[in-house]
Amino acid sequence: MCSNGELLIMGRNIKLVLAYDGTAYHGWQMQPKHPTVQKTLHQVLWRVLGGPMQPPEASGRTDAGVHALGQVVTFRTDKPIPAVNLVPALNDVLPPDIRVLSAEEVSPDFHPRDCAKAKTYRYRLFRSDICSPFLARFVNHYPYPLDESAIITAAGLIEGEHDFTSFAAVDPEKRIDDEDRSKVRTIFSSKWHREGEELIYEVRGSGFLHHMVRNLVGTFLLLGKGTTSAKDLKRILDLKDRSAAGPTVGPEGLYLVNVEY
- Which residues are annotated as catalytic? 63
- Strands (E) across 21-87 are located at 57-58, 67-77
In 50-77, which positions are buried (b, 16+ CB within 10 angstroms) versus exposed (e)?
Answer: eebeebbbbbbbbbbbbbbbbbbbbbbb
Query: Which of 42, 117, 33 has its CA nearest to residue 73?
Result: 42
- The residue type of 108 is P
| Contact partners, residue 8, CB within 8 Å, separation at least 6 | 108, 109
Q: Within 10 Å of residue 165's Cβ, how many Cβ atoms?
A: 18
